[in-house]
């Protein structure tokens, strides 16, 4: 590898001209796309190199230039920033948070939106990479952010390829059963599903199918048809008798079509801490994607909530790798049981929207493994069909051509057998194929440019000897194997919608796939609601005679639930964020509507009044005066960076609640001594202005509940559902209490440098390490009843006879696990090794669900945070009764990543265990007998 300095951007333009002068036109085969892709003929390579050499010779000896972006396309260079889902036009902005009283917030949409390498790369390429890494540096302009001055790319060379060895282990009944995506183990099961045999059968069939295909046909399988080139947001063309693929957003439902369910967001599902509900959500979504004819669902999203302001945090599962990993695992098992290919995204280190295409996330190896890679590892264990690489750079290399993360970690260390697709526009060179990218999405370099890094260019690179044809075979085989793995060759529905022209009668069949999935939506919406405060049993409501409903968030939007494209606005009740991670609402039950219905049901004498203007504080207070209860609904919104709402370019500008919310709460609380606040939010928000106000008697954190929003919150408000939600992140007292913050700034072609210097200490780990008191800690949540804990017992589990006894003994002695293909997902590392059991008693007067949480305390010298989540269970307990809870710990759970040895190692010393109700409320303590 070599280094590209931004100072040489002008030279790059000259290089492109040099290449273009030698390029010859060529047309792609009918089945490849885009058909007009420019080709670099094999006989032009030496001539190009000569021209390039004459230009590069003028460069200072301290600088070197990558030629991959030049030789990959003779016709075009990529735009620096794209959107995964650009709008068809711009939306005029209306009110800001300090603007007129009656105008909602709308949006403006901008144009932006190892050892295994020896099997793939030549030793020369690896040596070049090592040499280049020594020259990484960054500069900081006066008062500006740190800027990268280097970028790693692959040099033009000849790249041989050998397939990755396939990890294998013999099935173990009761521990490691052979299974398929159709028949996963039940939620929360100790069983570790072995998808190896199913993958082997799928790969064998794929290999047979492509054995008679031409090179052009195999290349066509890897190259999208281009933006708006098909019915779906992403499309792979049909080849011979193979029908191709429809790829469609989003992580919370089928986007760009009608008669689908708008499910609760990922952050709401995570807030339930209930595996069965998360699985049910995944299954229902999978069934709907299949019902619409989409082969690949672009989700779940599992980037970490490293930055509280992160625009797309709500699509994912929170700020802890274990919780995120379990939620990703259950979601994927559910989705693929429903018949659709799941796609784990965005791989990896894509934790902010600001300049996501022009930032380098610089992460050390241990932090990568223990925090950010973990949810993707759990996805591989769930048999995920595909992974989407992200827009950002990782340690100065674009994620979609990063050998370390794609080849070494994902396909090598984790043994991933599916395919890697690019995010839309995140593909930067033809040689990305060498680094591990398998599918180019949407296929064109810039949207509707009719150029492609692959297509005919990939064919040319094979013909001129740069890329081995065996690598293209591997790419096509991986893509088609995933299709076979999900049995999509067996009567799979045809695509019945048009993502780009939803009103076209010729291509939209308006197939209704909703079934009774509204029940899952309502159940998750209620179970994902977190009770943060409840003074004097203000909740549940007991048929109050007079109710005031206050706040814009309680009612419907003036434009209806889908009035803002991709939900890019804030008007009316908030049930999902904005961007490509959205879906159309079939309907949206507002709290105003649902509360009125419940009040009518409870008593014909109930009186309900409302006031929806957040800016008229006097009017709000007057409405709340002398009412039995005042319910104030407020929110905070965010989303994907191609949409800007009130100056929030995807990421939130700050952590305050929106639309004058703090002042609204204080005004209502000043008029009514029984003020209940309901918050619909994309993530953490600062609530200090009013949280200790004695007239604020209860607070419900309702997240983003989807289409049944009003019904779900009524279930909790009135006690039909005893709240059991728990926070999947920390709510701080001050924004500066968080250890990581949004990196802003940067202009033009500058690459922001985002150093993950906090290492393992994100969210609650940072608060614990630095002894910072949060307002509400990670894992916190109250109930309408009380629970007690007792009788903790920890014991090792007998794993004999074990086929991996030697490996287990070496681990026990403190040796790192071997650096072998599939080493990080090896059965012996993940099978239950210790059992932790305890009793939970419901000491209250109503039945309820407790979320019991297990935190591990590593030995002092291990370099870990004070507490790390390593287990949880939801347990339903009737009043006055007790239930025994059993959790397990694996050797992996008790390991740290040894970057020097490239393996998982047990630190020396004692391991403490705490069991309790949150990351700071421990009820029982013990020691793991290792």
**DSSP string across 900-912:** TTTEEEPPSS--E
Question: How far apart (Å, rounded) are the C-alpha atoms in residues 154 and 429?
Answer: 9
* CA nearest neighbour of 37 among 239, 219, 241, 244: 219
Give the angle subtended at the CA of 151 by the CAs of 150 and 157, to the nearest 5°. 130
Distances (CA, A) of 326 to 330, 722, 847, 853: 6, 23, 26, 13
pLDDT, residue 143, reads 65
Supply the residues annotated as catalytic: 423
Question: How far apart (Å, rounded) are the C-alpha atoms in residues 340 and 335?
Answer: 6
* Phi/psi of residue 882, nearest 5 degrees: -130, 155
The two tokens of residue 583 are 């879906």
pLDDT, residue 154, reads 87
Q: What is the pLDDT of residues 764-810, one digit of tens each?
A: 999 999 999 999 999 999 999 999 999 999 999 987 777 889 999 99
Question: How far apart (Å, rounded) are the C-alpha atoms in residues 841 and 584?
Answer: 43
Structural contact between residues 319 and 303, judged by C-beta atoms closer than 8 angstroms:
no
Q: At what angle do helices 617-624 and 661-671 cross, to 10 degrees?
A: 40
Complete edge-to-edge strand list for the sheet that includes strand 848-857: 868-877, 848-857, 912-916, 922-927
The two tokens of residue 90 are 């711009």
pLDDT, residue 167, reads 80
Query: In this structure, what DSSP letter does residue 317 have?
Result: -
Structural contact between residues 284 and 338, judged by C-beta atoms closer than 8 angstroms:
yes
DSSP string, 690-737: TTT-TTEEEEEE-----TTHHHHHHHHHTTSS------SS-B-SSGGG
Asked whether the whole model's pTM tops 0.95, one would answer no
The dihedral region occupied by 484, where left means phi > 0, alpha psi between -120 and 50, and beta the remainder, is alpha
Give the angle subtended at the CA of 147 by the CAs of 141 and 152, to the nearest 5°. 150
Structural contact between residues 656 and 665, judged by C-beta atoms closer than 8 angstroms:
no
Maximum C-alpha span of the chain: 89
Question: How far apart (Å, rounded) are the C-alpha atoms in residues 471 and 406?
Answer: 14
Using DSSP's 3-state secondary structure scheme, residue 793 falls into strand
Structural contact between residues 603 and 545, judged by C-beta atoms closer than 8 angstroms:
yes
- List of residues 6+ apart from 604 with CB closer than 8 A: none
pLDDT, residue 173, reads 78
Low-confidence spans in the chain with pLDDT less than 70: 1-143, 604
* CA nearest neighbour of 361 among 317, 325, 391: 391
Looking at the DSSP bridge assignments, the partners of residue 838 are 885
Q: What is the pLDDT of residues 122-157, one digit of tens each?
A: 222 322 333 333 333 445 445 678 898 888 888 889
Structural contact between residues 75 and 20, judged by C-beta atoms closer than 8 angstroms:
yes
Distances (CA, A) of 456 to 25, 212, 461, 506: 10, 19, 9, 31
Using DSSP's 3-state secondary structure scheme, residue 790 falls into strand
Distances (CA, A) of 327 to 249, 281, 297, 373, 875: 18, 11, 16, 14, 17
Q: Which residue shows structure tokens 């059963």?
A: 177
* Phi/psi of residue 654, nearest 5 degrees: -155, -175
* CA nearest neighbour of 121 among 403, 428, 484, 439: 403
How many C-beta neighbours within 10 Å does residue 772 have?
17
Using DSSP's 3-state secondary structure scheme, residue 898 falls into strand
Question: How far apart (Å, rounded) are the C-alpha atoms in residues 198 and 202?
Answer: 6
The dihedral region occupied by 771, where left means phi > 0, alpha psi between -120 and 50, and beta the remainder, is left
Looking at the DSSP bridge assignments, the partners of residue 480 are none
Burial of 748: CB neighbours in 10 Å, binned 0-12, 13-18, 19+: exposed
């Amino acid at each position: 590898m070599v280094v590209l300095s931004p100072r040489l951007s002008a030279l790059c333009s000259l290089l492109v001209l040099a290449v273009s002068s030698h390029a010859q036109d060529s047309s792609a085969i009918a089945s490849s796309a885009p058909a007009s892709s420019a080709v670099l003929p094999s006989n032009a390579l030496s001539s190009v190199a000569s021209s390039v050499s004459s230009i590069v010779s003028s460069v200072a000896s301290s600088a070197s230039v990558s030629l991959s972006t030049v030789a990959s396309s003779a016709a075009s260079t990529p735009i620096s920033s794209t959107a995964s889902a650009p709008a068809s036009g711009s939306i005029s902005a209306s009110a800001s948070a300090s603007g007129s009283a009656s105008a909602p917030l709308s949006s403006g949409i901008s144009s932006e939106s190892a050892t295994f390498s020896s099997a793939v790369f030549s030793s020369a390429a690896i040596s070049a990479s090592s040499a280049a890494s020594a020259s990484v540096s960054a500069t900081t302009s006066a008062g500006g952010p740190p800027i990268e001055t280097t970028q790693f790319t692959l040099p033009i060379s000849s790249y041989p390829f050998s397939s990755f060895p396939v990890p294998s282990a013999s099935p173990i009944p009761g521990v490691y059963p052979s299974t398929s995506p159709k028949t996963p183990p039940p939620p929360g099961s100790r069983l570790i599903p072995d998808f190896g045999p199913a993958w082997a059968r799928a790969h064998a069939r794929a290999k047979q199918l492509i054995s008679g295909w031409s090179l052009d046909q195999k290349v066509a399988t890897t190259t999208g048809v281009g933006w708006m080139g098909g019915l779906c947001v992403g499309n792979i063309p049909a080849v011979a008798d193979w029908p191709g693929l429809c790829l469609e957003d989003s992580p919370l439902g089928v986007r760009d079509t009608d008669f689908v369910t708008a499910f609760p967001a990922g952050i709401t599902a995570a807030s339930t801490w209930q595996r069965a509900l998360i699985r049910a959500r995944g299954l229902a979504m999978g069934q709907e994607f299949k019902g619409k004819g989409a082969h690949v669902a672009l989700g779940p999203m599992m980037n970490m909530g490293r930055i509280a302001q992160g625009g797309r945090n709500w699509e994912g599962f929170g700020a802890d790798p274990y919780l995120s990993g379990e939620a990703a695992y259950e979601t994927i098992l559910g989705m693929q049981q429903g018949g659709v290919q799941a796609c784990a995204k965005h791989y990896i280190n894509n934790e902010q929207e600001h300049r996501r295409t022009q930032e380098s996330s610089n992460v050390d190896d241990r932090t990568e493994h223990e925090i950010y890679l973990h949810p993707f590892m759990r996805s591989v264990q769930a048999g995920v069909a595909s992974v989407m690489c992200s827009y950002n750079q990782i340690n100065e290399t674009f994620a979609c051509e990063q050998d370390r993360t794609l080849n070494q970690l994902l396909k090598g260390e984790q043994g991933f057998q599916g395919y890697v697709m690019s995010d839309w526009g995140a593909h930067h060179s033809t040689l990305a194929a060498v680094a591990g990218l398998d599918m180019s999405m949407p296929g064109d370099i810039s949207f509707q440019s009719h150029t492609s890094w692959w297509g005919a260019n990939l064919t040319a690179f094979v013909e001129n000897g740069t890329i081995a044809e065996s690598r293209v075979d591997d790419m096509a085989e991986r893509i088609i194997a995933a299709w076979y793995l999900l049995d999509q060759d067996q009567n799979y529905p045809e695509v019945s919608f048009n993502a780009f022209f939803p009103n076209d009668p010729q291509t939209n069949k308006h197939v209704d796939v909703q079934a009774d999935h509204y029940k899952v939506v309502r159940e998750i919406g209620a179970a994902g609601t977190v009770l943060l405060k409840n003074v004097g049993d203000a909740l549940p409501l007991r048929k109050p005679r007079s109710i005031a409903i206050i706040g814009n968030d309680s009612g419907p939007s003036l434009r209806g639930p889908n009035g803002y494209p991709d939900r890019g606005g804030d008007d009316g009740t908030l049930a999902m964020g904005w961007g490509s991670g959205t879906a159309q609402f079939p309907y949206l039950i507002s709290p105003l509507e649902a509360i009125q219905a419940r009040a009518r049901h409870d008593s014909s004498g109930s009186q309900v009044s409302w006031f929806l203007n957040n800016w008229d504080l006097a009017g709000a207070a007057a409405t709340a005066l002398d009412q039995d209860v005042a319910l104030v609904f407020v929110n905070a919104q965010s989303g994907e960076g191609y949409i800007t709402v009130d100056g929030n370019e995807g990421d939130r500008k700050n952590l305050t609640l929106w639309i004058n919310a703090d002042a609204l709460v204080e005004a209502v609380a000043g008029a009514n001594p029984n003020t209940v606040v309901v918050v619909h939010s994309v993530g953490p928000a600062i609530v200090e202005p009013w949280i200790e106000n004695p007239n604020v008697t209860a607070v419900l954190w309702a997240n983003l509940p989807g289409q049944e929003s009003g019904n779900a919150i009524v279930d909790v408000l009135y006690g039909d559902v005893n709240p059991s939600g728990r926070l999947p992140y920390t709510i701080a007292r001050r924004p500066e209490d968080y250890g990581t913050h949004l990196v802003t700034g940067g202009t033009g072609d500058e690459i922001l440098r985002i150093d993950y210097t906090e290492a393992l200490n994100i969210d609650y780990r940072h608060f614990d390490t630095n002894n910072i008191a949060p307002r509400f800690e990670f894992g916190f949540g109250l109930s309408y009843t009380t629970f007690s804990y007792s009788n903790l017992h920890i014991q090792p589990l007998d794993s004999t006879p074990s086929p991996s006894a030697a490996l287990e003994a070496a681990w026990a002695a403190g040796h790192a696990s071997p650096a072998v293909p599939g080493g990080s997902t090896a059965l012996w590392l993940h099978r239950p090794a210790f059992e932790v059991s305890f009793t939970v008693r419901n000491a209250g007067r109503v039945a309820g669900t407790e979320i019991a949480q297990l935190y591990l305390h590593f030995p002092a010298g291990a370099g870990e945070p004070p507490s790390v989540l390593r287990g949880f269970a939801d347990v339903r307990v009737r009043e006055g009764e007790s239930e025994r809870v059993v959790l397990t710990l694996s050797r992996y759970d008790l390991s740290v990543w040894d970057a020097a040895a490239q393996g998982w190692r047990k630190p020396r010393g004692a391991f403490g265990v705490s069991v309790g109700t949150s990351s700071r409320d421990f009820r029982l303590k013990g020691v793991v007998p290792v």
